[in-house]
Amino acid sequence: MVKYSERLDLTFAALADPTRRAILARLERAEAGASITDLAAPFEIKLPAVMKHLDVLNDAGLITRTKAGRTVTVRLSPEPMRAATEWLHRYERFWSASLDRLAAYAERRETEARKKRR
């Protein structure tokens, strides 16, 4: 069994690549999943490269593959994303406070700039 932190490492490593994120976005729109050929179609990379990306997503548990005859269908697997979202949510209060301070600072600067223009 993969430990929780190792699973998170695999998830974030898989999400670090824009092609893999694009593949996940395409799968999100395909409720019944998509064939590997359909997933590869919009990309300017060769099918073996797409397969390597799918291997990384599969190793991270972000997708599942099923085979019917010669067609392999790929579907999203939500659990790793759920775990990553929960992990990120723990730190949201730090980001929110910083963003609130940044917004307040920007508003003060804008108010000061308006006063100087008058």
Q: What letter does residue 39 receive in the DSSP assignment?
A: H
Phi–psi pair at 38, nearest 5 degrees: -65, -40
**Structure token pair of residue 43:** 């990309």
| Residue 117 domain flag | no
| Residue 97 domain flag | no
In 3D space, the residue among 68, 4, 73 whose CA is nearest the CA of residue 36 turns out to be 73
Q: How many domains does the chain have?
A: 1
Range of the domain at 36: 4-78
| Residue 98 domain flag | no
Q: Which CATH number belongs to the domain containing residue 73 in this structure? A: 1.10.10.10
pLDDT (tens, 9 = 90+) of the chain, 118 residues, equals 457 688 899 999 999 999 999 999 999 998 889 999 999 999 999 999 999 999 999 999 999 999 999 999 999 998 999 999 998 888 887 777 777 888 888 999 999 888 888 7
